Amino acid sequence: MLALAAMRYLDQNFARTGLWLFVGLTLTAGFFHGALDIVLMQREFAGARRLAGALLAYVGAVVLLAMVCAQSGWLMVLILLTMSVWHFGEPYGRWGNGRSKQGAWAQRVMAGGAPVMLPALLSAQALQDILPMAVGLDAGWAWTIWQTLAWLWVAICAASLAVFRQQLFSKPLWAEVAVVFVINLALSPLMAFSVYFGVLHSAAHIFRVTARHRHGAASEKENRTRNTLNRSIGMAIVVTSLATLLLLLILAWYLQSASIAATEHHSLLNGLLVALTAVTLPHLVLVSRNAHWLTAPSSACPVKE
């Protein structure tokens, strides 16, 4: 509560606090949480040839989506919101214990939609003020899309509660939605999302991946020792981080060149959103494919069909 009060004070008294917090957390916790994808790829794609192919597909998807998003702000918003609902709603055994598969899907939509849909409902004017800086001339279309998806999310939540009722009542699920609601009620949209993405999402993912990796290394029965495996993973993360940094610099150069050619300014926020959207697609696919492994054994809870 003290941290929330301090952030609210900064948010209300310093205009750029939300932007710089978003930049800082994205380039630190967010950056590292994405770099850990190499751990999941090494686990899933055994052999140098398969891993090289997966890396090529990963980078290709990022570059292609970045080029698309750099040309269309409203399309970027649509893609990012849609992917966020799926990715942020990954249960990891925390919920998903409905009596039906449809109930688990409803829980996923409720949890995943809260961080990105509540800002459009609770801070509509503040969000509209940010959009021109985020997507430039596409701000009008972007707001229409965002507002429409937000109300569609509300309708889906209401319909799910009416249909599934008690099946949706999970303490971790409602606790997370409540925390996200309070954050968005107290803070500006950019500040609220920064806290969610940088602290609640990225930090949790980093802990989850490293904890599962340590558990797997401890139970390794092959000839490689735990220290050797850790050094290999560490080197892969360093190389991945450097490659990601290089891609970010190339993206910044591309956006700058595109803005000069189109006589339209691409802001720092726009560049970060393009990068996040581009990376999120292969990241969420990889995370979903490894979701069972990332689920702690004690919290695993199979969904009844």
SS3 assignment, position 59 = helix
Give residue-wise pLDDT tens across range 142-161. 999 999 999 999 999 999 99
Q: What is the pLDDT of residue 217?
A: 53
Q: Which residue has the tokens 């959103």?
A: 273
Look at residue 205 and tell me if it is in a domain: yes
Could you give the count of Cα atoms lying within 13 Å of 235 in the half-sphere of its Cβ?
A: 6
Report pLDDT for 229: 45
Which pLDDT score is estimated for 256? 56
Q: What is the pLDDT of residue 169?
A: 81
Residue at 9 is within a domain: no
Picking from 248, 269, 252, the residue whose alpha carbon sits closest to that of residue 260 is: 252
Torsion of CA 288, 292, 296, 300, to 10 degrees: 120
Q: How far is residue 144's CA from residue 12's CA, in Å, rounded to a whole number?
A: 26
What is the tens place of the pLDDT at every residue in 278-294? 999 999 999 999 999 99
Domain range enclosing 285? 25-218+225-292
Residue 191 falls within a domain, yes or no?
yes
For residue 297, is it within any domain? no
Total domain count, the chain: 1
Question: How far apart (Å, rounded) are the C-alpha atoms in residues 211 and 11?
Answer: 34
Query: Cβ-count burial of 185 within 10 angstroms (0-12 exposed, 13-18 middle, 19+ buried)?
Result: exposed
**In the prediction, which pLDDT does 164 show?**
85
pLDDT value of residue 237: 57
**18 in a domain, yes or no?**
no
Contact 142, 129 (CB under 8 A): no
All residue ranges of the chain with pLDDT < 50 are 219-223, 225-226, 228-229, 255, 259-265, 300-305
